A and B are shown apart, each in its own frame.
Chain A
Amino acid sequence: MRRYLLSSLFQSVIVLLGVLFLVFFMVRLTGDPARAMLAREATPEQVAEFRHRMGFDRPLVVQFIDFASRAIFGDFGNSLNYRLPALPLVLERLPYTLYLASMALVMAVAVAIPLGLIGGANPNSTLDLIGRGVGLLGQTVPTFWLALVMIVVFAVWLRWFPTSGSDGATAIIMPAFALSLGTMGRLVRLTRSSVLEIMGEDYIRTARSKGLADRLIFFRHALKNAAIPLVSVTTIQFGYMLGGSVIIESVFAWPGLGRLAADSIAIRDFPLVQAIAFFTSLIVIALTVLSDLLYALLDPRIRYE
Chain B
Amino acid sequence: MNNPVAALPQSKLEEAPPSRWQTFSRLFLRDKTGLFGLFLFGLVVFAAIFAPVLAPHDPLEQDLKVSRLPPAWMEKGNWDYPLGTDKNGRDLFSRVLYGSRVSLTVGFFGVLISGGIGLLVGLIAGYVRGKVDTVIMTVINVILALPYLLFVVVIAGVLGRSLLNVILIFGVTDSPIFARVTRGEVLRLRESGFVESAISIGASRWRILFDHILPNLIGPLLTVATFEMSAMIFYEAGLGFLGLSVPPQVPSWGNMLEAGRQYITIYPWISTLPGVAIVICSLGMNLMGDWLRDVLDPRLRRAKN
Question: A interface vs B, CB < 8 Å?
Answer: 11, 14-15, 18-19, 22, 26-27, 29-30, 36, 136, 139-145, 148-149, 151-152, 155-156, 163, 200, 236, 239-240, 242-244, 246-247, 250-251, 258, 261-262, 265-266, 268, 270, 273, 276-277, 280-281, 284-285, 288
Contacts and interface: CB of A to CB of B under 8 A. Distances in A.
Contact of B154 (A26, A149, A244): A26
B138 interface: yes
Contact of B142 (A18, A27, A273): A18
A148 B234 contact: no
Interface in B25-71: none
Would you call the interface of chain B mostly helix, strand, loop, or mixed? helix
B24 interface: no
Contacts of B237: 142, 144-145
Contacts of A288: 145
Contacts of A15: 141-142, 145
Interface in B74-113: none
B241 interface: yes
A250 B261 CA distance: 11
B286 A22 contact: no
Contact of A148 (B138, B146, B261): B261
A75 to B, nearest CB: 19
Given A156-B265, A288-B145, A243 B151 contact: yes
A140 B261 CA distance: 20
A182 to B, nearest CB: 9
Contacts of A285: 145
Contacts of B244: 265
Interface string B213-227: 000000000000000
Contacts of B13: none
A285 B149 CA distance: 16
A279 to B, nearest CB: 10
Interface string B233-249: 01001100111100000
Given A148-B264, A152-B264, A141 B279 contact: yes
28 contacts: A22-B142, A22-B146, A26-B151, A30-B158, A30-B159, A140-B283, A142-B234, A142-B238, A142-B282, A143-B238, A148-B268, A151-B264, A151-B265, A152-B272, A236-B145, A240-B147, A240-B148, A240-B149, A243-B151, A247-B149, A247-B241, A273-B157, A280-B147, A280-B150, A281-B146, A281-B147, A284-B147, A288-B145
A154 B264 CA distance: 13
Contacts of A145: 237, 257, 272, 275, 278-279
B243 A266 contact: yes
A247 B261 CA distance: 12
Interface residues of B, number: 42
Interface of B: 138-139, 141-143, 145-151, 153-155, 157-160, 230, 234, 237-238, 241-244, 257, 261, 264-265, 268, 271-272, 275, 278-279, 282-283, 286-287, 303
Contacts of A19: 142, 146
A17 B90 CA distance: 49
Most chain-B Cβ atoms within 10 A of its Cβ — which of A27, A242, A246, A251? A246
B281 to A, nearest CB: 9
B149 A246 contact: yes
B158 A36 contact: yes
Given A11-B141, A242-B147, A261 B154 contact: yes
A148 to B, nearest CB: 6
Nearest to B244: A265
A265 B154 contact: yes
A140 B279 CA distance: 6
B145 A148 contact: no
A143 to B, nearest CB: 8
Contacts of A261: 150, 153-154
Nearest to A163: B265
Contacts of B158: 26-27, 29-30, 36, 270
B177 to A, nearest CB: 13
Given A136-B283, A243-B148, A284-B147, A148 B272 contact: yes
Q: Which 10 A-B pairs have the closest CB atoms?
A: A243-B147, A145-B275, A265-B157, A243-B149, A18-B142, A152-B268, A243-B150, A140-B283, A140-B282, A242-B147
